[in-house]
Amino acid sequence: MKLKEKFIIYYLSATFVILLFVGIAVLNSIKNLSINTIEQQLIGQSNLAELYISQLHAIQNEGSNELSDETAKYVIGKLGLVFGNIRIYDNDLRLQAASKNNTESSITDMENAEILRAAAKGNYAYLVKDSTAFFASPITFEGNTIGILEIIYPMSFVERLMSGVLNILSIGAFIFAVLMILISIFIAARLTKPINRLAEVANNYANRIFTPLEIKGSDEISQLARSFNAMGAQLQDYIQRQKQFVSNVSHELRTPLTAIKGYSEFLAEEIGDRPDLKKAVFHLNNESERLAKLVDEVLTLSRIETGREEFHFDKLNFSDLVKDTIEKMMLRAQKYEIRLISDITSEVYVRGDEEKLVQVIVNLFDNAFKYSPPRSTVKVSLRKETTEAILMIIDQGIGIPEEDRLKVFDRFYRAENARSISETGLGLSIVKHIVDAHSGSIRLTERVEGGTTVILKLPLVD
């Protein structure tokens, strides 16, 4: 999963948890608040009722410590109209009177008895069951409890309130969640952008492109970017010094090599008829020539890599250039017993350095011959596509293993199957640099029948 997606998921989970807690807290406090309000209201009502009942009692049951059944019924008849469902019990918790059809309550005697007993001791008590509140309060007269008043209050309105609040909360939570998604996407994009850039630059470093990062701010990522830049600079410096070293060594090798070659040629002439010595000098000559070629290639490569090699770009007839080069390569093809077939479209023009392009083609032919068996065929074709000249060199040789097809452009890299032929492994690196300098491309593929196909593309000019 991408960092950005992870971030959004974390953010949303946190939002969900927060919303859940806030929702539960809001619902709870609204519920408590409304129950408190109802409680206050019921206390007020019961106080009022108590006042009325005690006055009636004073008038009707003079001197008695008990509320008479008649008074209780009378009170219920009057107060029931105002307060809804009420009941009056005597001190022994016996129902004396009840308003309307409420003689049988939905509440069992046991449950009810609890609050009635509490009221008998002189306290308010209530109980909420099946969305109905049962509120019991003592009726006192001159300091004595003369009965118990119970007010039965439907709580359905609290439920309606709660469901209303829940609706509003749900809509709010939904809007909040959508907003959070948008915000988290925005923040994730902002946070991951510099990280993505770092990854991109690290990738560039892997491909030896050392463009430093632009750095703003001083947070951890900026610090990392700074370290990155320092690392890139050091790598670049190291590579530069390594190239310089190779270049210097090659230069130093050139002079003694020329001397060795000179002396060995002199020796060859002077030996006369001694076959053992002749053979030794032949090898001396051969090896010094090989070494000289290697040194030349290393020098060329280091000049190109350090940008010291000069390119002279001109408009060129690429068709003619290829044809002439094929002409020059004929002798070598014969030496390797290779049949060379060409199919060249005329009048293909490119902008390029003639000498360098010849070097490219010579190198490619050289490989095609070297890595092919005798009496095989090498085909060359040049054609035009809309914006490109396409040169293909197809051989029937040993081919290049798939995993090596990019690596063979590296300096000194040689595929496993080519190790028996002693060579330097620098040709294709030089070729690649030259092709790059011409804004072209080069690719190696394999045909089903085996062998290698080199596809070289250069931009056309008209």
Ligand X SMILES: Nc1ncnc2c1ncn2[C@@H]1O[C@H](COP(=O)(O)OP(=O)(O)O)[C@@H](O)[C@H]1O
Instruction: For the CB of residue 420, give the shortest distance to ligand X in the complex, in Å.
Output: 10
Cβ-based nearer residue to ligand X, 87 or 414: 414
* Geometric angle at alpha carbon 410, from 400 and 440, rounded to 5°: 85
d(CA 295, CA 249): 9
Q: What is the CA radius of gyration of the chain?
A: 51
**DSSP 3-state assignment of 367?**
helix
Residue 96 contact partner, candidates Mg ion, ligand X, none, CB within 5 to 8 A by sort of partner: none
User: How far are the Cα atoms of 84, 88, 399 from residue 97, in angstroms, in the given order?
Assistant: 14, 5, 110
| Binding-site partner at residue 400 among Mg ion, ligand X, none, CB < 5 to 8 Å by type | ligand X
Of these, 149, 397, 438, 458, which contacts ligand X (CB under 6 A)?
397
Distance CA 144, CA 138 (A): 9
Least distance from C-beta 414 to Mg ion, angstroms?
9
What is the token pair recorded at 81?
């109209």
85 vs 367, which CB is nearer to ligand X?
367
Looking at the Cβ atoms of 169 and 364, the one nearer to ligand X is: 364
Binding map of ligand X across residues 328-367, x = CB under 6 A, - = no contact: -----------------------------------x---x
Phi, psi dihedrals of residue 442, rounded to the nearest 5°: -135, 140
Q: Which of 157, 146, 178 is nearest to 62 (CA)?
A: 146
Q: Which parts of 429-448 interact with ligand X (CB under 6 A)?
A: 429
Under rule CB under 6 A, which residues in 400-429 are in contact with ligand X?
400, 408, 414-415, 418, 423-429
User: Which position has the token pair 């022994």?
Assistant: 92
Name the residue among 116, 113, 118, 78 with its Cα closest to residue 99: 78
Distance CA 46, CA 126 (A): 12
Residue 357 makes CB contacts below 8 A (sequence gap 6+) with 316, 318, 321, 350, 434, 438
Minimum distance from residue 354 beta carbon to ligand X (Å): 21
* Angstrom distance (rounded) from CA 54 to CA 75: 10
C-alpha torsion sign, points 306, 310, 315, 316: negative
Using the contact rule CB under 5 A, the part of the chain among 149-157, 204-212, 285-293, 363-371 near Mg ion is 363-371
In the complex, minimum distance from the CB of residue 307 to ligand X, in angstroms, rounded to a whole number? 21
Q: How many residues bind Mg ion (CB under 5 A)?
A: 2
CA–CA gap between residue 371 and residue 417 (Å, rounded): 9
Of 319 and 396, the one with the shorter C-beta distance to Mg ion is: 396
Q: Which of 98, 250, 395, 434 binds ligand X (CB under 6 A)?
A: 395
Dist CA 263 CA 324 (whole Å): 35
**Furthest CA-CA distance within the chain:** 164
- At 249, the amino acid letter reads V
User: Is residue 376 a contact partner of residue 395, using CB atoms and an 8 Å limit?
Assistant: yes
- Per partner kind, with CB cut-offs from 5 to 8 A, the member of Mg ion, ligand X, none near residue 85 is none
Q: Select from ligand X, Mg ion, none the partner in contact with residue 319, using the beta carbon and a kind-dependent cut-off of 5 to 8 Å.
A: none
Cβ(301)–Cβ(431) under 8 Å? no
Task: Please calculate the CA angle 77-81-82 and round it to the nearest 5 degrees.
Answer: 125
Closest CB to Mg ion: residue number: 427
Does residue 397 touch Mg ion according to CB under 5 A?
no
Label the pairing between strands 339-344 and 377-384. parallel
Out of 137, 367, 396, 429, which residue is the one contacting Mg ion (CB under 5 A)?
Answer: 367
Give the residue with the Cβ less far from Mg ion, 50 or 395: 395
> Considering only 49-57, 186-194, 218-226, 392-400, which stretch makes contact with ligand X by CB under 6 A?
392-400
Which residue, 46 or 288, has its beta carbon nearer to ligand X?
288
Residue 444, SS3 per DSSP? strand
Question: CB-wise, 397 or 427, nearer to Mg ion?
Answer: 427
Stretch that binds ligand X, among 11-19, 33-41, 264-272, 390-398 (CB under 6 A): 390-398
| Residue 305 engages ligand X in binding (rule: CB under 6 A) | no
Residue 105 interacting entry, from Mg ion, ligand X, none, C-beta within 5 to 8 Å by type: none
Distance CA(453)–CA(372), nearest Å, equals 12
- Residue 264 or 452: the one with the smaller Cβ distance to ligand X is 452
The DSSP output letter for 443 is E
**Nearest to ligand X of 205, 413 (CB atom):** 413
Query: In the complex with ligand X, which residue's Cβ is closer, 138 or 427?
Result: 427
Out of 141, 336, 365, 371, point to the residue binding ligand X (CB under 6 A).
Answer: 371
427 near Mg ion, judged by CB under 5 A: yes
Partner whose binding site includes residue 83, from Mg ion, ligand X, none (CB under 5 to 8 Å by kind):
none
Q: Which stretch binds Mg ion (CB under 5 A): 7-15, 30-38, 329-337, 423-431?
A: 423-431
| In the complex, least distance from residue 248 CB atom to Mg ion, rounded to whole angstroms | 24
* Distance (Å, whole) CA 115 – CA 94: 13
Which stretches of the chain bind ligand X, using CB under 6 A?
363, 367-368, 371, 395, 397-400, 408, 414-415, 418, 423-429, 452
Which stretches of the chain bind Mg ion, using CB under 5 A?
367, 427
